[in-house]
Each structure stands twice: as C-alpha cells, then as structure tokens.
A and B are shown apart, each in its own frame.
Chain A
Amino acid sequence: GAGVSQTPSNKVTEKGKYVELRCDPISGHTALYWYRQSLGQGPEFLIYFQGTGAADDSGLPNDRFFAVRPEGSVSTLKIQRTERGDSAVYLCASSPGTSGRADTQYFGPGTRLTVL
C-alpha cells in the first residue's frame, strides 16, 4: 500500500517568510510524528499527534513552529518568520498508535527546506 508522503519535496524560501509543509500518513494510522534533520545529524523530534490532538510538542524549538492535524489524517507543519537556521530536512512518520502493541514508525521521504 501507499507509504507516508510529504509535499513539497523541496522548498526554498527567503528569510522572514512563512512556509507550510504537508504530510499524508499511512491510511488508518492514528499517530503522526514530525522530526527535522540537519546535515550530518540524526533526526530530532518536534511533535507528535494521536488523532487530532498534539500528544507531545516538547520538541518544537520556539513559537514560530506550529503543527495541525484537524481531521486526524493529514498534518501541516507551519513555520512563521523563517530563519536561516530553520534550513533542514523535515521528516514525517506515522504509526498505528495501537495501545498494547509495539509502535513502529514509518517515515516519509522528507521535505528539504532551504531558507536563503
């Protein structure tokens, strides 16, 4: 079946602009995660949703970052007033989120964000 998809695959923007990154999880997965990865480092957790609600947003670096998942499926990561330091690959993952079972996350290909 279809895996996790992310759009756009690449985004170039100017410092100070607003961007939105989209994630389409695997159908039926209730848990959705956002990570970001800087060059040469492992992915860093940002936020995760269980259904429509943010269950853990402890990784969001500041209030310029915000994410939504209004219908419990597609999610959008929003970054206001982008800074050059926001340049990274933004990864989305989803998992079944079923209580009582090991929770395996499946990742999308990522969106490469470049802030000029």
Chain B
Amino acid sequence: DAKTTQPPSMDCAEGRAANLPCNHSTISGNEYVYWYRQIHSQGPQYIIHGLKNNETNEMASLIITEDRKSSTLILPHATLRDTAVYYCIGKPYSSASKIIFGSGTRLSIRP
C-alpha cells in the first residue's frame, strides 16, 4: 500500500473551506486514494475516494493531481462538527484488503 504523508495538525475558521493536503508520491496505478475521518471517541468514518478524477459528494471534494502524487480534501464550509483526525490512505483497487492508517491530520475548527 502507498505510504502517505500529511501535516500533523491544521486549523480553519468556521464557515471557511478547509483544505487538507496529502502526499502519496509512491502510489501505484491500481491504488485508490481514500479519506476517512475520526471524530473523538468514534470509529473512523468514510468520506470519499478517487482514482484519478476529481470527486465530489455531500461531504467533501477530492482533488487529485494529474500525476497522482498528491491530493487535497476540501470541506467547503467547515463547521465545528468537522473537528476530527483526517486520514489519507492509499488502498488497492477492487479488492477487500486492510487499511494501513498513518497518523493523519488533526483538524481543529475555530468559531
């Protein structure tokens, strides 16, 4: 699985867009980029995934660079409830397999 690198912490003002970067320069062609988040005392929550095209759902947008070596998760209008640890993960396509979690980015939303 690809090793990912994320900043240990970030903060963002409530109502603004939160942009969380992830470097995955060793990602292989058959690996998706997944994002999960973990709110305090809860299990990880799936946010979004993508292979090479940008993706958007009701929670967030995922922008993947053309060379697939990095990506950015965008929370368009951050709220206090978005305070969590965000994990960027490289995971093989089309197979049930383990997730290797790194340390993630601790995102704090300030009022």
Contact = CB atoms under 8 A, between A and B. Distances in A.
A30 B110 CA distance: 40
Main secondary structure of the interface of B (DSSP, over half): loop
Nearest to A31: B96
B99 interface: yes
Contacts of B43: 4, 91, 93, 107-110
Interface residues of B, number: 24
A104 interface: yes
Among A31, A43, A45, A103, chain B packs the most CB atoms within 10 A around the CB of A103
Interface in A87-116: 91, 93, 95, 97, 99-110
Nearest to B104: A42
B94 A55 contact: no
B104 A103 contact: no
A104 B96 contact: no
Nearest to B34: A104
B94 A102 contact: yes
A58 to B, nearest CB: 8
B96 A109 contact: no
Interface stretch (B9-17, B44-52, B64-72, B73-81): B44-52
Interface of B: 32, 34, 42-46, 49, 51, 85, 87, 91, 93-104
6 contacts: A35-B101, A43-B44, A97-B96, A104-B34, A105-B46, A105-B99
